[in-house]
Structure 1
Amino acid sequence: MATDDRDVDSNQKLDENLLAALPEGGKVVSVKPSGQSDYCATYRIQVSLPGGTSQVFFAKEGTGAEGLGCIESAWSSEQATYSFIPEHVPRPIAKGTYKSNPDKHFFLAQFVDMIEDEIPRPEAYMGALAALHSRSMGKSPGGKFGFDVNTRFGNLEQDNAWTDSWEEFWTRQMSDYLAREAAIHSADPPHEELERLKPLFLEKVLPRYLRPLESDGRSVTPCLIHADLWPGNVKYMSDGDTVCVYDACCMWAHNEADLGVIRNPRYPLGKSYLKEYWKRVPISEPEEDADSRMIMYMMRSQILLSILYPRDLKLRDIFVANMRLLVERVEAEEAEKKGGTGKRMAAPQVRL
């Protein structure tokens, strides 16, 4: 067990259960805020060790039931990603509840120095992602989709109940997200276009782009996905070469579900990053649906952001525009098949 003999108020010293997770015989040198989080407090803890060396740790602290859910999500997700790509993920060390306050909970991990203001190059960024997907492919419990806990996007809980079918799993999640998005905007004026498009999206678009993945002899093999791989969660380590991947909200899923964020124009990633990924992992069949699938997957984070930040109505308009695009693509296909006058909207080619 480590000790905290710093000359600070007793309420600023580390809790006994957190100290027990630090190296035996260590002495806490400093505790400083680390990073930004809207839902948990985060700290950088420096500990001096017998023999004159020192180690640095990262701690995340959550309060109440919501905080406990965030801590459980962090612990399970970081353990899972670390088990497959340990060279890219800070080593998770412990989770627990404070002895001094049973309503507070913590997650402890190795602290990794990172370069904050530089987005990793495509080969580094996507190399880590491809490694996670490839190494975990086919290793989900029972070959199912889901996860062993309900993880968090920000503080939003996602239903990760185990499911045999990828179409069933993704449809359930998207239905839930759209219902929650509607509930949080219930006091706003009705969004007539969203109300028109929503049933078409759930009843036409999702079957159109999910079902072919599991039809005509094809199947989806679950792999572990990070599920929040925006550039804020992927940084170079201090060597400027190896990337650090963190803050996952994992699930066992179709690997391409992790590519929605790469496709998202909100982030400066795009074609060169996708090209690097496809070098390492083949596009799922049917390949001609790949762009539409990525838009569909991209909408997950867009809808969740609309829930997290409901006063920013532009976030709502963004996912509605993509919903409209996919509905129009599917309806144009249907019109073409019926011999109508609708002109089919060709999906952009993915191989670049």
Structure 2
Amino acid sequence: MATDVRNVEEKLDENLLAALPEGGKVVSVTPSGMSDYCNTFRIEVSMPDGSSQVFFEKVANPETKLMESAWTSENTTYEFIPEHVPRPVKKGSYKFRPDRHFFLAEFIEMIEDDIPRPESYMTAIAALHSRSMGKSPNGKFGFPVNTRFGNLEQDNSWTGTWEEYWTRQMKDFLQREDAAHDGEHHAELERLRPLFFEKVLPRFLRPLESDGRSVTPCLIHADLWPGNVKYQTDGETVCVYDACAMWGHNEVDLGVFRNPRYPLGKPYLKEYWKHVPISEPEEDVDSRNTLYMLRNQILLSTLYPHDHKLREIVVSNMKLLVDKVEAEEAAKSGPQTSTYQSRL
């Protein structure tokens, strides 16, 4: 167990000290980063040999599931890309405040204000997907625990087909988005929602698992916005953290790169495709990218319901997909109608 030698009234909890290196002395605890749903700290420990070790603590009160999500997600991503993920150390609850729950990991120094270049950013993501491809523990889509996007719980119940899994998630997310807006009437969203499930999802998900094709689950991070991917201090290797992991279709992780909210875009997608092949049918990849982007936009609209622009972005992209499918349907039916009429 480490000891807290700081000259402060409130020392670190005994269970947290027990997770720190034996014989170490806690010399500083400072806030680290920003989080809307928990507190985060940088803990520096002086070791008997004169060296220092630094740790990152995330603590929530009384949200146990948030820490379970962080622990399981980070452990699983670390298993496949340890060079890019801070090593998880411990999760637990405080001894003297059992309603406070913590997640402890190694602290990695990062360059805060520099978005990694496409080759650095996508090398880590491609490595995560490639190394984990086909290694889902039961061959299904899902995750051992329900993970969190912000404070929104994600239902990761194991499912045998990708279309079924993603359809269930989208129904759940859109229901919660509606609840977050207090059931506020939005005529266009209400028109589009049933068409999205009846037409869009079958059109762009079902072909992935038809005509001899299949989706092999891989581990996806599911929240790869630039705030969760930073250069380490070498300015070359990226650090990837704050996953809300799941075993799913690798292209889900690419949705965020299309989102105009972030300064990423096509160069990042092109870099990724150098390492990982596009799923078949390849001609649908752009529409699937928009479809997967919608997940992030729906969740943001749920987290920040007072920002009405976020909801309009959801509606705009949902309409884009519905219009595309209906245009395809019209194109298919048009020639048949003309041929029939010409025979009369």
Normalising by structure 2, we get a TM-score of 0.97
In the alignment, which residue of structure 1 is the partner of 2:260?
A: 265
Aligned residue identity for 1:128: A
In the alignment, which residue of structure 2 is the partner of 1:31?
A: 29
* Corresponding position: 1:277 with 2:256: no
Q: Where does 1:116-155 land on structure 2 (aligned, <5 Å)?
A: 116-155=112-151
Structure-2 separation of matches of 1:300 and 1:94: 30
Structure-2 separation of matches of 1:247 and 1:90: 10
Structure-2 separation of matches of 1:109 and 1:341: 62
In the alignment, which residue of structure 2 is the partner of 1:111?
A: 107
In the alignment, which residue of structure 2 is the partner of 1:206?
A: 201
Structure-2 separation of matches of 1:226 and 1:116: 20
* Corresponding position: 1:62 with 2:60: yes
* Corresponding position: 1:180 with 2:194: no
In the alignment, which residue of structure 2 is the partner of 1:242?
A: 237
* Corresponding position: 1:311 with 2:306: yes
Structure-2 separation of matches of 1:310 and 1:108: 31
Structure-2 separation of matches of 1:108 and 1:37: 15
Structure-2 separation of matches of 1:135 and 1:211: 25
Deviation (angstroms), 1:275:
0.5
The total of aligned residue pairs comes to: 337
Q: Where does 1:85-104 land on structure 2 (aligned, <5 Å)?
A: 85-104=81-100
Gaps of 5+ in 1: 343-352
Deviation (angstroms), 1:186:
2.2
Structure-2 separation of matches of 1:307 and 1:196: 19
In the alignment, which residue of structure 1 is the partner of 2:4?
A: 4
Structure-2 separation of matches of 1:299 and 1:37: 23
| Paired residues of 1:31 and 1:45 also in contact (CA < 8 A) | yes
Aligned residue identity for 2:11: K
Structure-1 separation of matches of 2:239 and 2:195: 39
In the alignment, which residue of structure 1 is the partner of 2:11?
A: 13
Deviation (angstroms), 1:341:
11
Instruction: Give the secondary structure class of the aligned counterpart of 2:90.
Output: strand
In the alignment, which residue of structure 1 is the partner of 2:222?
A: 227
In the alignment, which residue of structure 2 is the partner of 1:345?
A: none
| Paired residues of 1:63 and 1:105 also in contact (CA < 8 A) | yes
| Paired residues of 1:34 and 1:44 also in contact (CA < 8 A) | yes
**CA offset digits 1:1-53 (Å, max 9, x no partner):** 001121111xx211000000000000000000000000010000000000111
Instruction: Give the secondary structure class of the aligned counterpart of 1:320.
Output: helix
Structure-2 separation of matches of 1:133 and 1:168: 21
Aligned residue identity for 1:109: A
| Paired residues of 1:335 and 1:341 also in contact (CA < 8 A) | no
* Corresponding position: 1:43 with 2:41: yes
Instruction: Give the secondary structure class of the aligned counterpart of 1:339.
Output: helix
Structure-2 separation of matches of 1:123 and 1:141: 30
Structure-2 separation of matches of 1:256 and 1:114: 27
In the alignment, which residue of structure 1 is the partner of 2:341?
A: none
**CA offset digits 1:111-158 (Å, max 9, x no partner):** 000000000000000000000000000000111000000000000000
Aligned residue identity for 1:144: K
Deviation (angstroms), 1:76:
0.3
Structure-2 separation of matches of 1:121 and 1:341: 49
Structure-2 separation of matches of 1:122 and 1:6: 42
Q: CA RMSD in A?
A: 1.1
% identical aligned pairs:
74
Instruction: Give the secondary structure class of the aligned counterpart of 1:207.
Output: helix
| Paired residues of 1:2 and 1:26 also in contact (CA < 8 A) | yes
Structure-2 separation of matches of 1:122 and 1:183: 37
Aligned residue identity for 1:53: S
Instruction: Give the secondary structure class of the aligned counterpart of 1:143.
Output: coil
| Paired residues of 1:95 and 1:106 also in contact (CA < 8 A) | yes
Aligned residue identity for 1:325: L
Aligned residue identity for 1:46: E
Structure-2 separation of matches of 1:295 and 1:236: 27
Aligned residue identity for 2:85: V
Gaps of 5+ in 2: 338-344
Instruction: Give the secondary structure class of the aligned counterpart of 1:46.
Output: strand
Deviation (angstroms), 1:286:
0.5
Structure-2 separation of matches of 1:210 and 1:90: 34
Aligned residue identity for 1:56: V
Deviation (angstroms), 1:239:
0.6
